[in-house]
Amino acid sequence: MTSVQGTAVDIPTEDGLADAYLTHPGDGLPRPGVLLYQDAFGLRPHLRSMADRLAAAGYTVLVPNVFYRHGRTPVFDLPEFIDPGTRPEIWQQISPVMQALTPELAMRDAGAYLRWLADSPLVADGPVAVTGYCMGARLTLRTAGAYPERVAAAAGFHGGQLATDAPDSPHLAAGHITAELYFGHADNDPSLPAEQRERLEEALTAAGVRHHCEVYPDAPHGFTQADTASYQKEGDERHWAALLDLLERTF
């Protein structure tokens, strides 16, 4: 396993400084860049370990605190093991912060994250990959559509609300996407019912986007997050295989 070096960085945005975690192989050579979008629980030790695993596979990985407008990490006071079923008040903290991150603000920030990666001597020249989890899967899809010249591959896992009937639904970006996409959907996920999965598939197919979407059987929403009650080992291992395969094909 390649040794990695992780550090905290600050990214200038149009609205302030976003704190972030940057990790890369220890040799310091430029590697393909990966922008990793958090789930709703935010930048925390588990996401840093996920980023480190990607870095060990040969990538320079940036994990921004997308909630930076509400404070530096940790934005929320979370237990080491997150089980919203026993602590439903967690969502009372998180939901307003999530809703405040409008698509417009999120994509303005995405431009700052992508510029930072482009300017970093630790990132190889050329486009990057984006991956995201839960709400981060929505941000991934939007980023691939908003910055097609910068995003060569994009993956999302247990994403919710990817293809709603709202006028700003993430799937409506399909016509602008040039990246190859992969989505691993949670089987038992009320935030992405079958009709949304079908709508996403139809939109990507109609736009000619190279993509592969699949449903992970018996997987709950949040199945990749080992510090939560939603974790499913089988789905998590399958997600790692799919993500690394996409990155290897792209870079």
Burial 183-209 (b: 16+ CB within 10 A, else e): bbbbbebebbeeebbebbeebbeebeb
Catalytic residue (choose from 221, 227, 236, 239): 221
Distances in Å between the Cα of 136 and the Cα atoms of 43, 98, 251 are 11, 11, 22
Catalytic residue (choose from 39, 52, 109, 189): 189
CB atoms within 10 A of CB 235: 23
Alpha-carbon gap, residue 41 to 78, rounded angstroms: 8
Alpha-carbon gap, residue 130 to 153, rounded angstroms: 6
Alpha-carbon gap, residue 58 to 32, rounded angstroms: 8
The reply to whether omega before 220 is within 30° of 0 (cis) is no
Contact (CB, 8 A) for 150 and 175: no
- Count, residues in the chain: 251
Catalytic status, residue 189:
yes
Catalytic status, residue 239:
no
Catalytic status, residue 221:
yes
Catalytic residue (choose from 134, 185, 211, 227): 134
- Residues marked as catalytic: 134, 189, 221
